[in-house]
Amino acid sequence: MHLYNAWLPPPVAEESKREKLAFAGIVRSVKELYNPDDPESVYATLKWVSVLDL
């Protein structure tokens, strides 16, 4: 568990562990959708912009 999450109640801390897996899934999806040889493929990745705009 990350030090910043140490203060969280145990059930919430457990849920926060799933964030890493969820974010990795999003990154994997974007990589699968984007094809550097196809300029149109960037449009398929636009739905993830609001999630990745950190």
Given pLDDT bands bounded at 50, 70 and 90, which one contains residue 48?
confident
Number of domains in the chain: 1
Given pLDDT bands bounded at 50, 70 and 90, which one contains residue 46?
confident
Residue 49 has pLDDT above 60, yes or no: yes
How far apart, in whole angstroms, are the C-alpha atoms of residue 22 and residue 19? 5
pLDDT in tens, 12-44: 888 888 888 888 998 899 899 899 999 998 898
Query: Sign of the C-alpha dihedral, residues 51, 4, 25, 22?
Result: negative
How far apart, in whole angstroms, are the C-alpha atoms of residue 7 and residue 1? 11
33 is in which domain, residue-wise? 3-52
Residue 1 has pLDDT above 70, yes or no: no
